[in-house]
Structure 1
Amino acid sequence: MFRNAVITGACGGLGQALARQLIDSGAHVALVGLNLSALQALAALAPERTRIYTPDVSNAAAMQAMASEWLAQHGTPDLVIANAGVAGGFETADATDLAVMRRMLEINLLGVATTFQPFLQAMLDRQQAGALVGVASIAGWRGMPGNGAYCASKAGLIAYLQSLRAELRPTRLSVHTISPGYLRTALTAGNSFAMPGLMEPEAAARALLQGVAGGREHIVLPRRIGWLSRALSLLPARWHDRILLGQPRKPRAGQAGATPIPGLQSATEMSSPNASPKP
């Protein structure tokens, strides 16, 4: 299948399941994430075929340094999976949540481009088949109350992947958009609402890799959640909104059940005259 892979967000959930399956298949795998102990446990499965990297995926210079080292030591990948992502509730009326939106866009959207960019020219120069995979979400198909930052980041990602796919049509590289529904991961552990079609990450990883290897450009995990989302989209917008408004909302940063957002700065820090932007 794939012999040389790079995976961001490899610490847990879908990313960890993807890494394990690729390592088990004999591939060389660059493990990119922030949880060092989790990455070390994965690397121990095949020390000679893996390497650990812990950059901020939104930091272009750090990602380029990571890519340069991997290319020099293991060669050009035939699979790059931009899986790193964060989630959390968002309330526009609360100024502190503006920092949440900024950071979510940096990781979920910009982080995909900074993952692909350092490898793209080498993959093109190799003139062989290769795959660029972006993990979006069905949340990018339609905005949901209390989830504006996450939905916006994933909708933007879907559009970015569409653009990149069109650009690379004349080449041997393919671009794949993954739209998971609910996976049993840390990002969904704090959800208090119904999660239809909840899928185990190991099953999702198998379906993803099989779909990419089979040339599917759009992969929904599981497929039935995509059908449900499309069925709801046929309703008048007011009815659809009323259904969504009746559901509990995603926990916001600082609330019980919220997942941490690495590198998150408060709105107070961002508005300080001495504040400096992240690199």
Structure 2
Amino acid sequence: MQAMAAWRHVLVTGASSGLGRALALACAGPGAVLHLSGRDAARLEAVAEACRAAGAEAHPRVFDVRDAAGMAGWIGGAGRLDLIIANAGISAGTGGAVEPASVARGVFETNVTGVLNTVLPALEAMAGQAPGPDGLRGRVAVIASLAAFVAAPGAPAYCASKAAVQRWAEALDASERRRGIRLHAVCPGYVRTPMTDRNAFPMPFLMPPEEAARRTLTGIAAGRTRIAYPLPLYLGARLAGALPPGLRAAVFNRFPAKGQG
């Protein structure tokens, strides 16, 4: 990816496993400076070591994205940042059962508030930077999901949280372009990660995290505001999301899901 030369300074949240790990490794290389966060110190250090082995300078920090002050201090003190990937997130499928209040709050606190805690200080930091080789002050990618387009009863908080950050990133991109900053809403389908390993239902077009990282970074390099893949599953999600609510509920009741991607 030739445009990667413009992304020498990259920050990734949720980098200790899954898609975050794959994104960190895909950005690693000689001259790259990576700022990586996660909640598992041992796994995060292992990712950092793998990035260093690829020639990058890696700085791991154990952080919970729900910590607004900690995130603001970390991002504000990182120096120049060409690309920030707000990847950290959690899931909590109910299999169609009632979603406990504590679960719903936890999902929103990580998937929505955690994204705000990452993106808002990132925008302020980038606004004060000089433009890079690509003519931009920086790029911010928000990892949403194809679940953003479907109100699935088996994962109400997850779907709603991903819809919120997908819409927010896309709306924000229009205004932030005037400051020389681009936003990207990344909407993957099923990616093989520890999160999806718990799913007990068929996951069509399941892909390894390395392939998802490649598609994500290719979409960012192409300047796409919405990066949704794979196409057949994206079209299916849009179709399901367009069904009348009553019909959609009947379909999900007929074929209940036991989790989500």
Offset at residue 223 of structure 1 (A):
2.1
Q: Is 1:31 matched up with 2:26?
A: no
Partner of 1:124: 127
Offset at residue 11 of structure 1 (A):
0.9
Offset at residue 33 of structure 1 (A):
0.4
Structure 1 residues 93 and 37, CA gap change in structure 2 (3 angstroms): closer
Structure 2 counterparts to residues 176-215 of structure 1, below 5 A: 176-215=184-223
Which residue identity does 2:106 align to in structure 1?
Answer: R
Q: Is 1:156 matched up with 2:164?
A: yes
Please tell me the root mean square deviation across aligned C-alpha atoms, in Å: 2.2
Offset at residue 235 of structure 1 (A):
4.3
TM-score normalized with structure 2 length: 0.87
**Number of corresponding residues:** 247
Contact 1:199–1:222 (8 Å) recurs in 2: no
Partner of 1:240: 248
Offset at residue 115 of structure 1 (A):
0.6
Partner of 1:100: 103
Which residue identity does 2:173 align to in structure 1?
Answer: R
Structure 1 residues 192 and 92, CA gap change in structure 2 (3 angstroms): closer
Contact 2:94–2:155 (8 Å) recurs in 1: yes
Please, which of 17, 23, 47 is the counterpart of residue 12 of structure 1? 17
Gaps of at least 5 residues in structure 2 are none
Structure 2 counterparts to residues 14-163 of structure 1, below 5 A: 14-24=19-29, 26-45=31-50, 46=52, 49-71=57-79, 76-90=80-94, 97-128=100-131, 129=136, 130-163=138-171
3-state DSSP of counterpart to 1:15 = helix
Partner of 2:227: 219
Q: Matched residues in 1 for 2:91 and 2:240: separation?
A: 22
CA shift digits 1:131-172 (9 cap, x unpaired): 110011111112101211111111111222133213213122
Q: Alignment identity in percent? A: 36
Q: Matched residues in 2 for 1:61 and 1:116: separation?
A: 13
Offset at residue 56 of structure 1 (A):
1.2
